[in-house]
Structure 1
């Protein structure tokens, strides 16, 4: 009677693996869960920022009315920063170009501050994408070494003896790739998208600064000064 074939299902491979390989698999499983949690969070955040960047760009095509917008978000915070500088007015020794640069610097700072809130989590995605394959490879090497030790102890090189240990080792590599591939793709995609949002928002801030600078502003002493 032929012996029953070894159980090579994922659950069986996990339960039968060496304790070190099990630890490697657990670390990679946690990394994969963290990766998907970051992906879901960044999808929502970047979608919101892209919408607000478009709203800011739309404001660049509208004549400013001097009113500081209420609320939070990229567009509102950036516009408030620009209007706050504009209401302070131009200094006597300040040229129109310098006044515009001051307005733009204030809005660029607000844009940078708002977009910085979307950056946490991206370094972890990059780390998971670059490190997970090596962690999985470590588990594979350890599993193969453990399998060879078992072969030497049993003095049996049949496929039924070798297959479970090799399968356990390769399963660690597979889990490492499952964690690394989505993390790498997500990091590249989100980093590119965040860069595009930043460029759009900064361009809109520059355009708004130019429009505000062309409006009559108060000089430092409170007198109106036309450009």
Structure 2
């Protein structure tokens, strides 16, 4: 490629609107990649914590000591640990009160778990909407830059007597770079969004199943102990 058609030259010589489009797409790509890496680590940690907690939960003969260890832990609770802590705490609090039926105690514990579950779902879905937005809008933003650049090239072409390919090639080339950058920003964001959405859905189903299983255990505690 000649020096006049190098990528650096084309970007630097592009019109202000096309340069702003390119800058916007670069920023969107950088932010989305940052979110992709942080989201991947977060989901990996959430699954590992769920595995560890389920192993301790089903190995425990009495849930009281497990609750005491978790509630007294110094690390920040999340996921199943937080759901378990919220449910058992509410169950123990209501059970100490006089005149409350076992059904009301169980309902209060389930309500506490559901509230915590919804907060965990919000946490898991953080940044997914941004990735979806980048994936769906970046090609159109890049296309806008392409249309604008081609429009400027043809406008300049109309001011000369004789048109040659060398006159329009730089303008069209810089315009097509905007489309390429739009795709570069969109494709990883779409792939990551689809992957993370599936992982989050599976994790939510796992949490939801735990709520049902724990509710069954609390049901036995409420009616038989």
TM range (shorter): 0.7 to 0.9
Residues 1:181 and 2:187 are matched in the alignment: yes
Residue of structure 1 in register with 2:134 after alignment: 128
Q: 1:128 to 1:119 in 2, by over 3 A?
A: same
Structure with the bigger percentage of helix: 2
Q: 1:163 to 1:13 in 2, by over 3 A?
A: same
Residue of structure 1 in register with 2:101 after alignment: 94
Query: Does the Cα contact within 8 Å between 1:60 and 1:204 map onto a contact in 2?
Result: no
Instruction: Please point out which of 134, 140, 146 is paired with 1:140.
Output: 146
Instruction: Please point out which of 170, 174, 177 is paired with 1:171.
Output: 177
Query: Does the Cα contact within 8 Å between 1:144 and 1:169 map onto a contact in 2?
Result: yes
Instruction: Please point out which of 4, 13, 16 is paired with 1:7.
Output: 4
Deviations 1:16-44 (A, max 9, x none): 11111111111111111111011111111
Query: Does the Cα contact within 8 Å between 2:3 and 2:9 map onto a contact in 1?
Result: no
Residues 1:28 and 2:28 are matched in the alignment: no
Instruction: Please point out which of 58, 63, 66 is paired with 2:64.
Output: 66
Residues 1:85 and 2:90 are matched in the alignment: yes
Higher RCO (CA 8 Å, separation ≥ 6 residues): 1
* Unpaired runs of at least 5, structure 1: 218-224
How far apart in 2 are the matches of 1:210 and 1:60?
A: 14
Deviations 1:55-91 (A, max 9, x none): 3433553344313213422233222112212212446
Which stretch shifts more, 75-84 or 56-65? Answer: 56-65
Q: SS where residue 31 of structure 2 aligns? A: helix
Residue of structure 1 in register with 2:45 after alignment: 48
How far apart in 2 are the matches of 1:17 and 1:119?
A: 38
Q: SS where residue 120 of structure 1 aligns? A: coil
Query: Does the Cα contact within 8 Å between 1:100 and 1:210 map onto a contact in 2?
Result: no
TM-score normalised by length of structure 1? 0.84
How far apart in 2 are the matches of 1:60 and 1:200?
A: 14
How far apart in 2 are the matches of 1:21 and 1:186?
A: 27
How far apart in 2 are the matches of 1:6 and 1:144?
A: 21
TM-score normalised by length of structure 2? 0.85
How far apart in 2 are the matches of 1:24 and 1:185?
A: 22
How far apart in 2 are the matches of 1:60 and 1:108?
A: 19
Query: Does the Cα contact within 8 Å between 2:18 and 2:149 map onto a contact in 1?
Result: yes
How far apart in 2 are the matches of 1:76 and 1:8?
A: 58
Structure 1 runs (4+) deviating above 6 angstroms are none
Query: Does the Cα contact within 8 Å between 1:133 and 1:177 map onto a contact in 2?
Result: yes
Query: Does the Cα contact within 8 Å between 1:143 and 1:168 map onto a contact in 2?
Result: yes
